[in-house]
Structure 1
Amino acid sequence: MRGIALLALALFVAQPLIVEAAPPTPSPAHSPAPVRLMVRFADATARDRSLGRHAAISRGPVGKTGFEVIELAATSAATAAASLRGEPGVLNAEPDARVSMSFTPNDPFYATDPFSVLGAGEWGVRKAQVDRAWDVQRGSPSIVVATVDTGVDAGHPDLQGALVNAPRFVTSPDASCPSDATNRDDNGHGTHVAGIVGAAGNNGLGVAGVAFGVRVMPIKALDCMGAGFLSDIARSITYAADNGARIVNVSLGASDASDALQSAVTYALSRNVVVVAAAGNCGSESGTTRCPTLNAPDYPAAYAGVIAVGATDPNDQPATFSSAADYLSVSAPGVSIVSTFPTYRVQLNVEGLPQNDY
């Protein structure tokens, strides 16, 4: 349990990701744009009947959740889902929403750093007294932590020996993203998260991961813009559960509950996998502008069995952006966190984040 508690702190990282339904694309009345749904059919007969009736295209199963992604022409995903739910043999149907981002060892950036606003290095590790825990227990290579994010810079010097092979579940990347079939991080967020979990410690380089010594499975479910579909997140969670992960870190949240996402979480929990998720970014700073309501619930954090993590500042106070919720499991440092970042130029550099040699 001590190891799991340390790994829960790995979410002190970064601002969670926020899920928003994709805005409808204007199109001529006679040619509605295709929408994506996640549907659970009672049997193959019902499936074939519905696909034929709507001239729908299957985009494959959503891991082992029992759901399937389909595309069909409709005026809106919500309308199409409601219509399908009324058909015989359709057990459930919901829009496939897009996910968008709203970010004492001898490692030199442990005590100070030239990157963050505070310049205080890994202040969060020191504040949470993780360094004292290292005297008792450190990460073990027998533990695999899956990060469901934007992938990883596999060549980063502070992640060498810490990574295991991981797939890419990005079914519809933005047209501006590089063409790539691997889990290479073209955004930056995923490498940052991977380093907070498992960057090599006491190696005289950069930072030390909270659970350094574990192995990280950096599944790429988001494209260069930090966007993807809920179905890709669900596929990632079930893949991790089936391929050796003991912990799954999901730094994202949806304001509306998703049966498909909950099914993926339930599947992972049934296989004794710990699921850690961000509690949400709907606190006083942003809760009335980018969230349905102040402190709106976030999923999967709000699901039973998930370790929901909130963020705190250097004064041990809740971060102004962090949601206050009754499902909160633990809070940990989440402001000005220093970690690994791709050694090449990525989308977050394009958007203004300075590029550095670490």
Structure 2
Amino acid sequence: MRMKKQQILIWNLFLIGIVLIHLGNRNISLQPNQTISMISSMTSQPITKQNEWIIKWKKEYPKEILKDTRLINWLPELKVTRLQLKENVNVSEWLKKWIDDPNIEYMQPNLTVRISQVPNDLFYPKQTYLKRIHMEKAWEQVTKNSNITIAILDTGVDLEHPDLKPNLVDGINLLDKKAKPQDDNGHGTNVAGIVAAVGNNSIGIAGILWRAKLMPVKVLDKKGEGDSFLVGQGIRYAVDHGADIILLSLGEPVFTPFMKEAVDYAVAKNVLIVAASGNEGNQLNYPAAFSSVLSVGAVDQDDEYARYSNYGQQLDVVAPGDGIYTTQLGGQYTANSGTSMAAPQVAGLAALLYQKYPDLTPKEVENIIKFSADDVDQPGWDEKTGYGKINAIRALNFPLERLKDGFEPNNTKETATPFPYNDTFFAQLTLNQDVDWYKLNLPYHGVVDFQLNLEKSLTSPIQITVFPNGTNRNFIYKIKNSTKITLNLPQGLSYIKLEYSDLNQKGMKTDQIRYSLTNQYRINQDQFENNDNLRDAYLLENLQQIIKGTFHKEHDWDWYQIEVNQSGELTVSVSVDTNRLDPVIWFQAKGKHNIEIDEKGSGEKEEKTIPVSPGTYYVRLADYNGYEVIGEYQLYFQLTTSDGDTHEPNDFPLEATPLNGDHLMTKGVILNEKDQDWYQFFLTQPSAIQIQVTNTQNKKIRAVLYNSKLDVLLESQGTSINQTVSLDKGNYYLRVDAQSPLTSYQIIFNDQMSQKAEQ
């Protein structure tokens, strides 16, 4: 419907009044010429207020004014009238008629006035983060929610803190069920104050919520430590005792099924879980890493990514995390930092949304918070800051109609919505040329199950097209009902496109269909499977090679067999690329007891040097927790023989020691005239290679260069060798030997083309 002119004018004048109020609460007066010029530049929007005007007259008001208005008030001592325009009066024409009347001193719209929503709490000026998330504007709409319960799973809460006590309800101490959930660390009290310190009470600070119901659930001790069993119990307790929001400013890097079951239990009971991402500058901790949890990272005081904030594909939003002023043990106040201080802001905002829109589902609340956030890093979603920094006023004013599909616009490949692995999206598809694009970034080659659920069956199909990363082969499916699709996809960015297969379909009963799209991702097994038992141990013919492996299923044991042909010391090393993985090594000689190597924690390298003699050895690798892990480990060995050679065994091409990188210097030992030392290198582009071989004993030495087929390309010998050869891209071998033992020789391997480019 077209907006009426009088509505436009009223709204414009209303905006003018608001501007003038903010300029200093001055008396609002619109001079005739100024009024019209300002009106012409304002943006129009409809309002529902009655069209009332205040006019100050120099003399008596003329009766003629009542032709188009109704007199509400007349203050003869002030010569002021309060008038209401009659229906169907053209405001623009009416203003033109009266704006130049010499009897009018000023005229103004009768604006709505409300009390200030800036709280009077003593330390409120120190809570600068509240302005950064636009809380003052949000408080003009809602300041409290005593209809729902927010459970805080933490170190407990200071039960006698004057700024918290009025908002506390009964909770539990799961460390000692006979004791109260009294905080003995301080962290839980910090968190509680951010969520719901009593606001506008002239003391302390103001929480996101001024009035609320906080349930303290103590799951961490005075050191701030607990375990996944207590956290899982705490989640279930909170759900069973009426919590609507559960806040967890805690976490651990390793997945645990018990905590996952508790989270799923809460989600099934329509409880919203908010969790801090963690402060290690690494992958998200659990439970924040669960896709069903609203995960929160931190930005610094400049609204830039805080370098300590954990990140990843499951990160949803961020909030200020540095110098957050809040409640402290003993009825005091302090400033604290971290994602633990960011997450309570999000939990509080969720409660305000429930107060304004009590019928929202947890997923809808989560989506409003995400879709209303302010970009603070890359446009749209990114793994460091999620959808951006929360914006309270935008969240409260978010158009609920957009919840049907908050990912728009995503109708091109360039605007594809990032789709975190192991997540679910809710959206809708419209018949009129609508296409929905998503992009899935897989950290490793793996299997993905796509589950598309439609709100109802279709008479004509929807087409799903999957574009695997780096390939020209697309997968196309046409479906009319909810369907599961399983694909093996490469590492990197793959795309998914949804559209009606026929945009000119006939017989469609509706032009819109709502759907949910879920992906479940599993890393592929490594190339050495199946090696789950000692009898199936994978034989490593080259002790120099680096083994990349995975634990692609629960209780995956990877067995390897190695052969040692000389006495010395063998260093066994395992490094991992994720803090989700805690490697454990078992090393044993054939027929003997094993040695367990497990000295470090999750994400850390395990390494041990063991005396060995010629024989067969077995190595078993596993994750300490026995879980399926999305990540890789690298296993490598270094044998140092009794004469100090660190490259043995490298007597054959299959055992060749890798020469990696430019300007590489390598030292070796020739045991006797039968000993051959093989090396291998790979060129990514045509290059001029300089090879220098020297020895301090001034003995004759020989070097032979081979291509990948072991054809001889160059052979040179002497007390020192210095040769330059031009080679194409590819794999090459270098063999070094001598007619008599050498206690030490040196190889210098230079890429001349790289050196020239650097110069």
**What TM-score range do you get, normalising by the shorter chain?**
0.5 to 0.7
- AA aligned to 1:255 is P
- What is the SS of the residue equivalent to 2:263? helix
Matched residues in 1 for 2:220 and 2:331: separation? 18
Matched, 1:318 2:305: yes
Cα offset, 1:107, TM superposition = 0.9
The aligned residue for residue 152 of structure 2 is: 147
The aligned residue for residue 29 of structure 1 is: none
- What is the SS of the residue equivalent to 2:290? coil
Matched residues in 2 for 1:160 and 1:317: separation? 34
CA deviations 1:9-64 (Å, max 9, x no partner) are xxxxxxxxxxxxxxxxxxxxxxxxxxxxxxxxxxxxxxxxxxxxxxxxxxxxxxxx
CA RMSD in angstroms, aligned pairs only: 1.6
Cα offset, 1:212, TM superposition = 2.2
Residues 62-141 of structure 1 mapped to structure 2, 5 A cutoff: 104-111=118-125, 121-141=126-146
Matched residues in 2 for 1:231 and 1:154: separation? 25
Cα offset, 1:171, TM superposition = 6.0
Matched residues in 1 for 2:190 and 2:144: separation? 18
The aligned residue for residue 185 of structure 2 is: 187
Matched residues in 2 for 1:126 and 1:215: separation? 24
Number of residue pairs aligned between Structure 1 and Structure 2 = 215
State whether residues 160 and 331 of structure 2, in contact with CA within 8 Å, keep that contact through their aligned partners in structure 1: no
Matched residues in 2 for 1:127 and 1:160: separation? 27
The aligned residue for residue 306 of structure 1 is: 293
Cα offset, 1:297, TM superposition = 3.0
State whether residues 289 and 295 of structure 2, in contact with CA within 8 Å, keep that contact through their aligned partners in structure 1: yes
The aligned residue for residue 273 of structure 2 is: 275
Equivalent position to 2:204, from 192, 206, 210: 206
The aligned residue for residue 246 of structure 1 is: 244
With normalisation by structure 2, the TM-score equals 0.28
Equivalent position to 1:159, from 161, 164, 175: 164
The aligned residue for residue 24 of structure 1 is: none
The aligned residue for residue 331 of structure 1 is: 318
With normalisation by structure 1, the TM-score equals 0.58
Cα offset, 1:254, TM superposition = 1.1
Matched residues in 1 for 2:229 and 2:120: separation? 41
- What is the SS of the residue equivalent to 1:233? helix
Cα offset, 1:302, TM superposition = 1.0
Q: Flag the structure with larger Rg.
A: 2
Equivalent position to 1:234, from 232, 235, 244: 232
Cα offset, 1:238, TM superposition = 0.6
- AA aligned to 1:244 is G
Cα offset, 1:190, TM superposition = 0.8
Matched residues in 1 for 2:188 and 2:299: separation? 21
Cα offset, 1:228, TM superposition = 1.5
- What is the SS of the residue equivalent to 1:340? strand
Matched residues in 1 for 2:331 and 2:300: separation? 30
Matched residues in 1 for 2:331 and 2:124: separation? 23
- What is the SS of the residue equivalent to 2:222? coil
Matched residues in 1 for 2:272 and 2:213: separation? 15
Cα offset, 1:332, TM superposition = 0.2
CA deviations 1:90-146 (Å, max 9, x no partner) are xxxxxxxxxxxxxx21112111xxxxxxxxx11111110112111112221111100
Matched residues in 1 for 2:189 and 2:300: separation? 22
Once the two structures are overlaid, the 10-residue window that deviates more, 266-275 or 134-143, is 134-143
Decide which structure has greater strand share: 2
The aligned residue for residue 744 of structure 2 is: none
- AA aligned to 1:338 is Y
Matched residues in 2 for 1:160 and 1:205: separation? 13
- What is the SS of the residue equivalent to 2:124? coil
- AA aligned to 2:191 is V
The aligned residue for residue 257 of structure 2 is: 259
5+ residue gaps, structure 2:
1-117, 333-759
State whether residues 257 and 299 of structure 1, in contact with CA within 8 Å, keep that contact through their aligned partners in structure 2: yes
- AA aligned to 2:300 is D
Cα offset, 1:344, TM superposition = 7.0
The aligned residue for residue 352 of structure 1 is: none
- What is the SS of the residue equivalent to 1:343? helix
Q: Assess, with a 3 A threshold, how the Cα gap between structure 1 residues 344 and 108 changes in structure 2: closer, same or farther.
A: closer
Matched residues in 2 for 1:328 and 1:280: separation? 11
5+ residue gaps, structure 1:
1-103, 112-120, 173-179, 284-294, 346-358
- What is the SS of the residue equivalent to 2:172? coil
Matched residues in 2 for 1:186 and 1:282: separation? 24
- What is the SS of the residue equivalent to 1:227? coil
State whether residues 279 and 325 of structure 1, in contact with CA within 8 Å, keep that contact through their aligned partners in structure 2: no
The aligned residue for residue 37 of structure 1 is: none
CA deviations 1:187-246 (Å, max 9, x no partner) are 111111111111000111111011221110011111111111211111111110111111
Q: Assess, with a 3 A threshold, how the Cα gap between structure 1 residues 185 and 228 changes in structure 2: closer, same or farther.
A: same
Q: Assess, with a 3 A threshold, how the Cα gap between structure 1 residues 344 and 130 changes in structure 2: closer, same or farther.
A: closer
- AA aligned to 1:320 is R
- AA aligned to 1:300 is P
Matched residues in 2 for 1:280 and 1:226: separation? 14
State whether residues 110 and 206 of structure 1, in contact with CA within 8 Å, keep that contact through their aligned partners in structure 2: yes
State whether residues 145 and 247 of structure 1, in contact with CA within 8 Å, keep that contact through their aligned partners in structure 2: yes
The aligned residue for residue 66 of structure 1 is: none
The aligned residue for residue 329 of structure 2 is: 342
State whether residues 161 and 331 of structure 2, in contact with CA within 8 Å, keep that contact through their aligned partners in structure 1: no
- AA aligned to 1:124 is Y
Cα offset, 1:341, TM superposition = 0.9
State whether residues 294 and 316 of structure 2, in contact with CA within 8 Å, keep that contact through their aligned partners in structure 1: yes
Matched residues in 1 for 2:280 and 2:297: separation? 11
Higher relative CO (Cα under 8 Å, sequence separation at least 6) belongs to: 1
- AA aligned to 2:225 is A
- What is the SS of the residue equivalent to 2:220? coil
Cα offset, 1:324, TM superposition = 2.4
Cα offset, 1:326, TM superposition = 1.5
State whether residues 163 and 217 of structure 1, in contact with CA within 8 Å, keep that contact through their aligned partners in structure 2: yes
Matched residues in 2 for 1:250 and 1:225: separation? 16
CA deviations 1:272-322 (Å, max 9, x no partner) are 000000112122xxxxxxxxxxx2231111112100000111111111210
- What is the SS of the residue equivalent to 1:320? coil
State whether residues 123 and 314 of structure 1, in contact with CA within 8 Å, keep that contact through their aligned partners in structure 2: no
State whether residues 166 and 218 of structure 1, in contact with CA within 8 Å, keep that contact through their aligned partners in structure 2: yes
Work out the percentage of aligned pairs sharing the same amino acid.
41
State whether residues 171 and 232 of structure 1, in contact with CA within 8 Å, keep that contact through their aligned partners in structure 2: no
Matched residues in 1 for 2:162 and 2:242: separation? 24
The aligned residue for residue 297 of structure 1 is: 284
The runs of at least 4 consecutive aligned structure 1 residues that moved more than 2 Å come to none
